[in-house]
Amino acid sequence: MSLIDMSEPRPVPTRFTDAAQALAEVRAIYAGQSAYLVGRFKEYVRGTDLPRRVRGFYPYVEISTTSHARLDSRISYGFVLAPGTYRATLTRPDLFGDYYLKQFELLLTNHKVALEVGLSNRPIPIHFALGENMHPEANLDPARLEVVGDFFDLPELTYVDDAVPNGTYFLPTANRQPLALFTAARVDLSLQRLKHYTATGPDHFQQFVLFTNYQFYVDEFVRLGHAMMAAEGGQDHGYTAFVEPGNVVTPNRTLDPDAVSTGTKPPRLPQMPAYHLKRADGAGITLINIGVGPSNAKTITDHVAVLRPHAWLMLGHCAGLRGSQKLGDYVLAHAYVRDDHVLDDALPTWVPLPALAEVQQALESAVAQVAGVSGYELKALMQTGTVATTDDRNWELKDQKELVARFNLSRAIALDMESATIAANGYRFRVPYGTLLCISDKPMHGNLKLPGMADRFYRERVDQHLKIGVLTMEILRDGGLERLHSRKLRSFSETAFR
């Protein structure tokens, strides 16, 4: 397909019964539209006066069916719920090609009707067409930057909200219904934000994501990543490269002894640095240091969600609330008290967050394998129970009578500042979630988190905790994705795309 000049007639929508051919058309339309916008923007940067407004549009995929029938009722996605017409705008097939292909294949298999691919009426904002490595603000003088909106489309909040995943998006059935959780513009916004917050490109993110709130875990993950990439590290683990902020890529030197690292470390770390243990199939492990607090936890998961990961887990520290607990014990969350508040509007606190059996079993198995204990002995190391998440770091200063009453009523055994937020956004965005915390202090029983005690605890427990997280992800990956993506996270009014 040649570059599309929007002064010419719009391309005719095409119907496909082959998923690969449909994806090829999506790629061609997106490449043509984005190249057209980028080319004209470069002219604008050079000072060229553009004779008219320059517009490019996202490709779309659409399916129309008149039947309720579908082939396989066991799967939790890949089908539309009722007769009608369903559409999704698409972006960045270079990143999402494999994901799109899988969704197309499922729709064709389940409904036996053609997919339509064409040019939507949703404009590509120039910021998004340029990608995460080029920005109008950095390439234009102030005068031309002030009027860039006269010539190019700018991001519009109307097309980037989360009404669909929140379940607040309703249209008359005669209208087109959404086919995916996120619009193309919403995806593009998050790709830009991920680069900003983590200092790594979205192409490096893997499908299994660990979140932590301590640098100690990062240090251990970096050590592990470099050891795996060393020539003597062996290639049986299946990881091909390790990526750090600044897109610093260390290749697997067992696969290629002459390979050299690329990229440049940034002068300072970003707000939430990300590290990636990559596999060729994208099913590796990403670790993100989200820092402290539920606001950070919501911010990063809002954006990681558009990558459609297969699972995410919180590995962090918590305050033990029971006198019987010991420093260094693990807490496997099976329920949450949500005092974090940042998601109350999007997901009311009366909505339960179910424990996901597949994730819980994988976490318990990983603890047993790494710690070398099993059965009844595992209870001496790990407790399963309710985790309370607060937005108040100084919760210890509240009235203790009130706190004890609340913890007693909820049966909470641990308290932290991120876990419920991570789980709630996993529920909200249909991403399987889990939490394994490690008790670092017991303020209600005289063990406050103070510098000397904390440093000793971190040195002794972080290595084991991280290994448990990595092994959990590998267990989930090897156990089969069809089993992992259960119906628990799907509503009765659901989009076909996972």
Cβ atoms 151, 43 nearer than 8 A: no
pLDDT at 362 (0 to 100): 97
Say how far apart CA 457 and CA 318 lie, in whole Å.
Answer: 12
Return the closest-CA partner of residue 76 out of 476, 483, 426.
483
pLDDT band at 490 (very low <50, low <70, confident <90, very high): confident
Q: What value does the mean pLDDT take over residues 287-293? A: 96
pLDDT at 368 (0 to 100): 97
Element containing residue 168 per DSSP (H, E): none
Percentages helix, strand, coil for the chain (3-state, rounded to 5) are 40, 20, 40
pLDDT of 341 strictly over 60: yes
On whether the pTM is more than 0.85, the answer is: yes
Say how far apart CA 283 and CA 205 lie, in whole Å.
Answer: 9
Least confident segment among 90-99, 257-266, 272-281, 346-355 = 257-266
Cβ atoms 160, 166 nearer than 8 A: no
Which of the two residues, 425 and 446, has the higher pLDDT score?
425
Say how far apart CA 277 and CA 23 lie, in whole Å.
Answer: 28
Q: What value does the mean pLDDT take over residues 50-66? A: 95
Q: In percent, how much of the chain has pLDDT > 90?
A: 70
Instruction: Supply 146's token pair.
Output: 């002030």
Radius of gyration of the chain, Cα coordinates, nearest whole angstrom: 24
Return the closest-CA partner of residue 333 out of 309, 359, 370.
359
Least confident segment among 84-88, 164-168, 296-300, 476-480 = 164-168
CA–CA distances in Å: residue 485 to residues 77, 179, 180, 359, 488: 9, 18, 16, 10, 8
pLDDT of 3 strictly over 50: no
pLDDT of 53 strictly over 60: yes
> How far is C-alpha 406 from the chain's CA centre?
32
